[in-house]
Amino acid sequence: MTWNVNGLRSALKKGLPEVLQKIRPQVVLLQEVRAFPEDLPPPWADPPRWHVVWNPAEKPGYSGTAIWSRSPIEVLETGLGAPDQEGRVIVARTGGAVVGCLYLPSGSSSEARQTVKDRMLKEFTVWAEPWRKKAEPVCMAGDFNVAPTERDIYHWKSNQKTSGFLPHERAWFANLLQRGWHDPVRDQAGERDGPYTWWSNRGQARALDRGWRIDHWLLNEAAKRRCSRPNVHREHSLGVSDHAPVTIDLDSK
């Protein structure tokens, strides 16, 4: 399961433990944790029956990622080959696969942040290639802050100059697929609109399901062969986060 929880401390109060009980994932990739482990209420700094890896941002209350797994975790890398001051990338081996937990930047707040985002998108393309080519299953997942096509954003006509749906961002995602990454949610959904994974807090967007699909799984060929049942759990995230958790089943055999 991958989920941007929009602040882990808040999500724990709003029902994240109950969502975990309903979905029962074996591996959880969390983005926008926005906390150091020691900031969390007990027992969540070291949750029982979970193996946990944290990659918090240096700046308090900002960004950050984590991986929780029912199986032991072997951390392989943090960041894209450079210091990861914003805590945006963890790659680990757990549960019979390599998983990458990703929180790519938003560029909506300023031109400066869009520049940071564009640089990271370019770095990701090069950095991810060796992972894609591995013989073992590799799954990169998280909040990419990019809606790849018109099917992935409800108000696509009015957002063509909005960060997250800019032409060069969509071309970037298309290039990843051309290189051989697979998008299981879109593969299953086909030509229909959605399923959306994030909704604005304005204009009843959540109630009317007028959102964006910006939370993704990208699978290499080995992972694609073992993948089934991609699912966006819109109903389970109500009141917990403005993003929905997205799950896949991965056969370990």
Q: What's the sign of the alpha-carbon dihedral 236, 201, 32, 46?
A: negative
Mean pLDDT within 115-129: 98
Distance of CA 11 to the CA centre of its chain: 16
Instruction: Return the percentage of the chain with pLDDT > 90, whole number.
Output: 95
Q: Do you find a cis peptide bond into 195, omega within 30 degrees of 0?
A: yes
pTM summary value: 0.97
> Residue 237 has what pLDDT?
78
User: Could you give phi then psi for residue 160, rounded to 5 degrees?
Assistant: -70, -15
Q: How many CB atoms lie within 10 A of CB 228?
A: 11
pLDDT bin (cut points 50, 70, 90) of residue 238 is confident
Residue 105 near residue 86, CB atoms below 8 Å: yes
Mean of pLDDT values over 87-94: 98
pLDDT at 236: 77
Domain 2-250 has CATH 3.30.930.10: no
The residue ranges of every structural domain in the chain are: 2-250
Residue-wise pLDDT for 144-202, tens only, equals 999 999 999 999 999 999 999 999 999 999 999 999 999 999 999 999 999 999 999 99
Are 179 and 133 contacting, i.e. CB atoms less than 8 angstroms apart?
no
pLDDT band at 253 (very low <50, low <70, confident <90, very high): low
Segments in 31-89 forming alpha helices (H): none
Task: Average the pLDDT over 87-102 and give the result.
Answer: 97
Amino acid 84: pLDDT: 97
Query: Does a cis peptide bond (omega within 30 degrees of 0) precede residue 43?
Result: yes
Q: What is the mean pLDDT of the chain?
A: 96
